[in-house]
């Protein structure tokens, strides 16, 4: 049924569930727009996430990895264990701040930076937040909340991020200097498409400045947790599976022994790294469920789905279903080797969704995870310690990790 809804009959189920409130500018982001406008936004943004564009941003991610290694070494000297969630959170924040907002920050070293403080205010949003409780428990209040301009996020937070994007766009438009990052790619797509629209009778619409701001913020919100969780769980799996870690280190030494060897093309050649990361995301998917809106009564595989019923795909359950995966609780990266991929159900691996509405940022998220792991494994090994929770404990909501404490030790010469 999942394959039928997300892929084969996507035209019937193209939309995610509405947010419930008009939380601007987030309503204008690709995650929330619907139908024809979603197709236009996706078409405009897709080239910015191509492989060739990812190559142009490897220097940004490598610079953030430099900071990551510096902080790992500092924390290693300070104590017996490292809280992975905190340090990977800083790394992820630095990457997204740089690629989507044009800012070079060091969030671990500068926790009082205005960007860091406002970002943490966003990530503190949980199901127990009064705003969320109000919207979830009393949905009939949404029209009133719209009139009062009350959404999931506080106005001062959205105002800050909008101001950052607006000022960066203005600065770049007034100078001839371009910084190759996601914000610049969205600006270029916006400008190019605007010119094409003026020269033709096409009804296609370019991104507005507000939509650039909205998508920068939504990619920040979505990308932060995905990458952080992916790195935490993968590090945990390496520490608890030393044979797999040794094999991955051997691959790192073969393909990328030094900083300058860590490139987009080199990482594409590392089959075991790719398989291991994919297996980690199967065992511990960052998103626990995927939703689709059902706007009219449909019959799928003989089952009637009434109009207005929310369709939910339980990603974690599907990733651990023995009818889809052999020995699903076992950590086996070999599942994702090229010779075994024909055994994988086409809709069995869903950490980034599937079909036309799958996560547009998949390449960037995987690149962040892989670059971070390679750079760390060039110098260190992960090992468990007395503070390591086995198995790991999930957070209060979804698949968010509560925290993973590991010990790192320098590799033997």
Nearest to 236 by CA among 331, 172, 142, 144: 331
Token pair recorded at residue 54: 């990812």
pLDDT in tens, 83-135: 998 999 999 999 989 988 888 899 989 989 999 988 887 766 544 455 555 55
The pLDDT value recorded for residue 182 is 83
CA 155, CA 342: separation in Å to the nearest integer? 48
Q: Distance between alpha carbon 107 and the CA centroid of its chain, in Å?
A: 18
pLDDT at position 413:
66
Of residues 269 and 165, the one with the higher pLDDT is 269
- Model confidence at 148: pLDDT above 70: no
**Which of residues 141 and 216 earns the better pLDDT score?**
216
Return the pLDDT at 407.
93
Residue 378 has pLDDT above 60, yes or no: yes
Q: What is d(CA 413, CA 403) in angstroms, rounded to the nearest whole number?
A: 30
Does the annotation place 64 within a ligand binding site?
no
Question: 88: which 2 tokens?
Answer: 């990977």
What pLDDT is stored for residue 170 in this prediction?
Answer: 87
Query: Rounded mean pLDDT of 331-350?
Result: 94
**Residue 91, pLDDT score:** 95
Least confident of 111-115, 136-140, 195-199, 376-380: 195-199
Mean of pLDDT over the chain: 85
pLDDT of residue 198: 47
**pLDDT on residue 302:** 87
> Cα–chain-centroid distance for residue 209?
23
Helix or strand (DSSP H, E) at 314:
strand 311-314
- The pTM score is 0.89
**Residue 305 tokens, joined:** 């789905």
Kindly tell me if the per-residue pLDDT of 194 is higher than 80: no
Query: For 229, which DSSP code?
Result: H
pLDDT, one tens digit per residue, over 73-84 is: 999 988 888 999
- Residue 87: predicted pLDDT: 93
Give the pLDDT band (50/70/90) at residue 45. confident
Q: How far apart are CA 13 and CA 295, in angstroms?
A: 8
Q: How far is CA 218 from the centre of its chain?
A: 10
Nearest to 114 by CA among 97, 91, 95, 96: 97
Relative orientation angle of helices 35-45 and 209-240, to the nearest 10 degrees = 70
């Amino acid at each position: 049924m999942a394959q039928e809804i997300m892929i084969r009959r996507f035209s019937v189920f193209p939309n995610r569930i509405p947010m419930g409130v008009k939380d601007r500018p987030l309503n204008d982001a690709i995650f929330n727009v619907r139908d024809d406008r979603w197709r236009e936004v996706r078409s405009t943004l897709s080239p910015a996430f191509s492989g060739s564009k990812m190559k142009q941003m490897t220097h940004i991610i490598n610079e953030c990895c430099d900071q990551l290694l510096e902080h790992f070494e500092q924390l290693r000297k300070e104590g017996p264990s490292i809280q992975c969630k905190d340090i990977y959170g800083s790394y992820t924040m630095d990457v997204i701040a740089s690629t989507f907002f044009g800012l070079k920050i060091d969030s671990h070293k500068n926790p009082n930076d205005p960007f860091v403080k406002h970002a943490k205010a966003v990530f503190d949003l949980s199901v127990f937040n009064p705003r969320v409780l109000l919207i979830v428990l009393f949905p009939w209040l949404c029209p009133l909340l719209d009139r009062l301009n009350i959404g999931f996020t506080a106005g001062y937070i959205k105002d800050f991020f909008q101001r950052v994007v607006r000022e960066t766009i203005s600065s770049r438009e007034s100078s001839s200097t371009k910084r190759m990052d996601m914000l610049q790619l969205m600006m270029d797509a916006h400008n190019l498409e605007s010119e094409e629209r003026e020269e033709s009778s096409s009804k296609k619409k370019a991104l507005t400045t507000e939509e650039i701001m909205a998508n920068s913020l939504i990619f920040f919100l979505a990308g932060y947790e995905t990458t952080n969780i992916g790195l935490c769980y993968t590090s945990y799996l390496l520490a608890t599976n030393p044979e797999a870690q040794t094999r991955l280190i051997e691959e790192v030494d073969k393909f990328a022994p030094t900083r300058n060897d860590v490139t987009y093309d080199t990482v594409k050649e590392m089959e075991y790294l790719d398989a291991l990361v994919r297996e980690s995301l199967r065992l511990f998917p960052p998103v626990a469920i995927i939703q689709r809106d059902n706007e009219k009564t449909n019959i799928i595989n003989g089952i009637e789905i009434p109009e207005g019923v929310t369709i939910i795909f339980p990603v974690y359950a599907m990733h651990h279903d023995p009818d889809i995966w052999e020995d699903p609780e076992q950590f086996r990266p070999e599942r994702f080797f090229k010779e075994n991929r024909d055994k994988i159900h086409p809709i069995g691996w869903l950490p980034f969704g599937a079909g036309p509405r799958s996560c547009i940022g998949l390449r960037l998220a995987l690149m962040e995870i892989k670059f971070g792991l390679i750079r760390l494994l060039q110098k260190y090994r992960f090992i468990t310690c007395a503070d390591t929770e086995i198995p790991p404990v999930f957070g209060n909501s979804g698949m968010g990790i509560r925290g993973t404490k590991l010990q790192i030790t320098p590799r033997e010469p």
